[in-house]
């Protein structure tokens, strides 16, 4: 009787593992699609990420500032717009791409 329980647990574990591999495939495709975003999309996401970083009180490392992506932010800023931290910027890009799938 304990053998059947063990077998069922093993099958459940394998199903979860399979689902996780599918999730990893989705994440990989998000990464690949993020590389094909237009300059306008990247600039817009940079601006939005900066707003989120400002609202959440994240401090920005100057090393995280990216030239092309931050250009729009620099042009529209009157001095109070924030550059996003890298984690927030990447997260916004992946969420944006994930919504397209």
pLDDT at residue 78, as a whole number: 76
| Domain residue ranges of the chain, discontinuous segments joined by + | 2-100
For 19-66, write each residue's pLDDT tens digit. Answer: 666 766 776 777 788 888 998 898 889 888 888 888 888 867 655 566
pLDDT at residue 71, as a whole number: 81
Q: Is the whole-model pTM more than 0.75?
A: no
pLDDT at residue 2, as a whole number: 45
pLDDT at residue 16 greater than cutoff 60 = no
Mean pLDDT over 67-85 rounds to 77
Contact 40, 80 (CB under 8 A): no
């Amino acid at each position: 009787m304990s053998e059947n329980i063990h077998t069922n647990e093993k099958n459940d574990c394998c199903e979860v593992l399979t689902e996780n591999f599918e999730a990893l495939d989705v994440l990989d495709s998000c990464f690949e699609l993020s590389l094909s975003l237009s300059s306008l999309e990247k600039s817009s996401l940079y601006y939005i990420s900066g707003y989120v970083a400002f609202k959440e009180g994240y401090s920005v490392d100057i090393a995280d500032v990216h030239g092309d992506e931050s250009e729009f932010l620099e042009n529209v800023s009157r001095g109070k717009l924030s550059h996003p931290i890298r984690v927030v910027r990447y997260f916004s890009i992946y969420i944006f791409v994930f919504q397209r799938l």
